[in-house]
Amino acid sequence: MVGPSSQADAGWPADRWAGSPSDLEARSTALRRIRVCDLSGQLAGAGATRILAAFGAQVIRVEDPATSGGWDIVRGAPPYNDERRGIEFGGSFNNHNTEKLGITINLRTERGRDLLTRLITISDVVTENFAGGVFARLGFPYERLQEIKPDIVYVSHSGFGATGPYRDFRTWGPIVQAVSGLTFTSGLAGQPPAGWGFSYMDHLGAYAMAIAMLAALWHRDQTGEGQWVDLAGVEVGLSLTGTDILDHHVNRRAPRSPGSVDSNRAGAPVMAPHGIYPALGEDRWIALACRDDADWARLADAIGEPWAADARLATLAARLAEQDALDARLAAWTAGQGGQELADRLVAAGVPASPVRTPAERIDGTPATPGWDLWPTVAHPDIGPARVEGLPVHLSETDWSLRRGAPRLGEHNRFVLGELLGVGEAELAELTAEGVI
């Protein structure tokens, strides 16, 4: 399957932005032919459509006017860029929804459901991350979406998926992480689980959702067939613990008990020393690892103390057997040294090392990944210019671009409902007055 597909000109529009005002138009050319009718939000959903938007897809976020978009708990929530508060001032919302268009539709009303139906007719993808079954109860089960547009790609993302005994249970990132094994596998020996300290699964769930959309679009381009992809965050999470599951099954191990995990030590491959050690300063730390005996020899050389030169530590087996004592010695050595300076010295000697970098250091210090422009500035109509997360990829021909901030509530009603759906001025006014939009 090399080269342009025979389905390439099978009737899908070549450019969803054709004829749109230039201030709205996406800059990336990669996915300009894709339009996403996006009912998803928070990070687990918004983080997925954000990737497509950065690559030029026309992502239209549909929010509820009756609750001022309040279903998305991130809208208007901290952090804030300044002292101003309100639904347009949430910093994370601005980050997660950059480059999208925003409209309002009240799906409790028949006219609202009609508007959504018309939007689906001209979309390639429909996305949502309500709890399992909610979108169907609003009148839009997959069967209905198919009636509206036979080749639609529909991706639903919930904590537990669209079927099964926990379908109606409510979750957010930390709950998904806990139930899927990722919280358990993060911690220090003799301590309770540390978890991740953030909604790791909102990120990874969003990435899986983006992959699902793109793979389904690929299939649609080849065959003309749409489909429904049901994503359960817990299943995405468990798919990130495969070697643990395989190990316990194949080797018939009993389930581990709480406190038995030390994830700062090496699992696969086995290494020692391998950990996070104190550095000079309050709450400063350095991670270092010896991949093999040669790394250890280099580290021992850098340490330059008699205990490190002990020939008994030359083998991995010996270092593993004495890991607690070795870690204590190392910690005593690292504690008096600046984390960045020591890491630089070890890396120059060929030993993997890095300080535990604070957000200020990794974002505004010397970037570990050079020349990337990882933190672009977008313009939000109320917040003003603000830095957001870029993408950790660069495409040589059709790279991503982020320049517009998150949409205000209903900011693009006139363009999307008026221009794209052909709703006249008088009707728009009426829909607004009736609370439909």
The residues carrying an active-site annotation are 202
Amino acid at position 263, single letter? S
| Binding of other proteins by 23 (CB under 8 A) | no
Question: Among 16-24, 216-224, 300-308, 417-425, which window interacts with other proteins (CB under 8 A)?
Answer: 216-224
Question: Among 97-105, 107-115, 369-377, 406-414, which window interacts with other proteins (CB under 8 A)?
Answer: 369-377
Is the sign of the CA dihedral 128, 131, 133, 135 positive or negative?
negative
Per CB under 8 A, the list member of 20, 68, 117, 241 interacting with other proteins is: 241
Return left, alpha or beta for 250; rule: phi > 0 is left, psi -120 to 50 is alpha, else beta: alpha
Indicate the residue among 7 and 67 with the shorter CB distance to other proteins. 7
Question: Among 60-68, 97-105, 311-319, 392-400, which window interacts with other proteins (CB under 8 A)?
Answer: 392-400
Instruction: Give the span between the Cα atoms of 147 and 160, in whole angstroms.
Output: 26
Instruction: Give the span between the Cα atoms of 289 and 310, in whole angstroms.
Output: 18
Question: Among 111-119, 311-319, 358-366, 414-422, which window interacts with other proteins (CB under 8 A)?
Answer: 358-366
Per CB under 8 A, the list member of 126, 266, 326, 330 interacting with other proteins is: 266
Instruction: Give the span between the Cα atoms of 152 and 154, in whole angstroms.
Output: 6
| Binding of other proteins by 98 (CB under 8 A) | no
Q: How far is the CB of 361 from other proteins (least distance, A)?
A: 9
Q: How far is the CB of 113 from other proteins (least distance, A)?
A: 23
Per CB under 8 A, the list member of 109, 186, 337, 432 interacting with other proteins is: 186
Instruction: Give the span between the Cα atoms of 224 and 245, in whole angstroms.
Output: 37
| Binding of other proteins by 353 (CB under 8 A) | yes
| Binding of other proteins by 60 (CB under 8 A) | no
Per CB under 8 A, the list member of 25, 230, 293, 427 interacting with other proteins is: 230
Number of residues forming the site for other proteins (CB under 8 A) = 165
State CA 55 to chain mean position distance.
15
| Binding of other proteins by 421 (CB under 8 A) | no
Query: Do 106 and 437 touch, CB atoms closer than 8 A?
Result: yes
Indicate the residue among 159 and 407 with the shorter CB distance to other proteins. 159
Instruction: Give the span between the Cα atoms of 329 and 308, in whole angstroms.
Output: 9
Instruction: Give the span between the Cα atoms of 135 and 224, in whole angstroms.
Output: 25
Instruction: Give the span between the Cα atoms of 321 and 428, in whole angstroms.
Output: 73
Helical segments of 122-170, H only: 134-137, 142-148
Per CB under 8 A, the list member of 246, 314, 328, 332 interacting with other proteins is: 246
Query: Do 292 and 319 touch, CB atoms closer than 8 A?
Result: no
| Binding of other proteins by 21 (CB under 8 A) | no
